[in-house]
Amino acid sequence: MAQTKNSPDSLIRLRTIAVKTLAQVFNSTQSLEQSFFEEITRKSDRTLPEFERAWIYELCSGVIRFRGRIDYIIDTYALKKKPTGPLRRYLQTAVYQLIEQDVPSALPVSETVQAIADTEGDAPSKFANALLRKVADSREEWKNWKINADSPHAEQLAWSSLPDWLFFSLRKTRGFDWTMAFAESCLKRPQTWYRKLDSEEPMLLENGYRGDEPPGFVQDISNQMLLKEVVAYLRATGKQAKDLRILDLCSAPGGKSLGLAVSGFNVEATDVDADRMQRTIENSNRLGFQNQIKIRPYIEVQNDASLYDLIWIDAPCSSTGIIRRHPEVKWNRSEKEIAKLVLIQEELLKWAMKHLKQDGAILYSTCSVMKAENSHELPNGIKEAGSWEWFPQISPFGDAISAKLLLKN
């Protein structure tokens, strides 16, 4: 994003809001959207124009995406004492602009130094001035920084801008080349894909969602491709759509149910998160699918003895496959969470098996790249009949989706 035409004082103030937003993201498990919303609506003393909001959000999301590289650069020049707290956050915003934005070096350097002087004092501002000038002098070298399999592990980790647990796990299970390609893809913003109500073919929105599209809804290309596979399976059963009983067990925010409804199927939708289910309800009502998508309370479904032709489990997962859309995911997840999630996923599979018709199927999917979340030992009586994987570094460059079609033996 180009530099704004706001006054220097205004930009310094916006940078301070960005720093507070980043602190909230990095010191909690909140999403960037939630932290940003809280900072500009509850804590800011005035309403920000849309352009200023966009400037702050771009700065924050950029820092979060490139945090590993940015911190490595900062620490390369901070030899005696590594900066922490707000000082590091201010430096992160300036270094991001220097290595990823097409702005004159003097602008982010001077604005950041002044912001630090105003909020942290003279000594930190002098430290920042010296460090940022060194970064600016080597700006082109950092922009063109490359690594390979023989580079020191610390450099590989920093270049990837992934947390150490995720980087080393992926490198071990998927190899160096795959991990680096995936890491690089996570630094890029995703394309916006759309599902029209009168078509089953994906529609790329070159300029993002504008609100004047034909009737439909935004849905990532990988999810649309998986939906096509599921629809093909359902149609191949030879049963009429009206005779199939389908459960979307982890429905929110409703894209799977909507996709199935567009293709002519009736769906029962539920989710343990009642608040997020509101989006399913809103989307269903907005697009006129109230009669095809039946919203059911989660506890009601769990206690029901009904049997289904298809149970779709889009399981709770680490969300490591949607880092491009939600870059904070890579920093607010931990390795310990994976083991807990695997247990939840296995319980969902066991429940689903008990609620299948004799010729029924489970569609198990995640938006995770972790093999532990996608390679469960299957319950007795279930066999794998198909599998699919899409990754953001491989065409068509959507979310990472892993899915398996499971049938009763």
DSSP 128-186: HHHHHHHHHHTHHHHHT----TTS-HHHHHHHHT--HHHHHHHHHHH-HHHHHHHHHHT
CA distance 101 to 126: 24
Comparing CA positions, the residue from 301, 306, 311, 265 lying closest to residue 406 is 311
The pLDDT value given to residue 55: 94
Alpha-carbon distances of 257 from 148, 281, 295, 312, rounded to whole Å: 43, 11, 10, 10
CATH 3.40.50.150 fits 220-408, yes or no: yes
The pLDDT value given to residue 47: 76
CATH number for the domain running over 8-145: 1.10.940.10
Coil/strand/helix, residue 362: strand
Coil/strand/helix, residue 84: coil
Q: What does 327-353 look like in DSSP terms, one character per residue?
A: TTHHHH--HHHHHHHHHHHHHHHHHHH
What is the residue whose two structure tokens read 């991990």? 179
The pLDDT value given to residue 211: 87
The pLDDT value given to residue 321: 97
* 251-276 pLDDT tens trace: 999 999 999 999 999 999 999 999 99
Inter-helix orientation angle 122-137/106-119, to 10°: 160
Alpha-carbon distances of 35 from 18, 19, 28, 90, 273, rounded to whole Å: 10, 11, 9, 17, 20
Tens of pLDDT along the chain (409 residues) come to 444 445 556 788 999 999 999 999 999 889 999 999 988 876 555 678 889 999 999 999 999 999 999 999 999 999 888 999 999 999 999 999 999 999 999 999 999 999 999 999 999 999 999 999 999 999 999 999 999 999 999 999 999 999 999 999 999 999 999 999 999 999 999 999 999 999 889 999 999 999 899 999 999 999 999 999 999 999 999 999 999 999 999 999 999 999 999 999 999 999 999 999 999 999 999 999 999 999 999 999 999 999 999 999 999 999 999 999 999 999 999 999 999 999 999 999 999 999 999 999 999 999 999 999 999 988 788 899 999 999 999 999 999 999 999 998 7
The pLDDT value given to residue 6: 52
Strands 401-408 and 356-366: antiparallel
State both tokens at 26.
């990095």
In the chain, domain spans: 8-145, 220-408
Q: What angle do CA 64, 331, 402 make, to 5 degrees?
A: 105
Give catalytic residue positions.
367
CA distance 207 to 205: 6
The pLDDT value given to residue 8: 52
CA distance 21 to 348: 36
153 within 8 A of 359, measured Cβ to Cβ: no
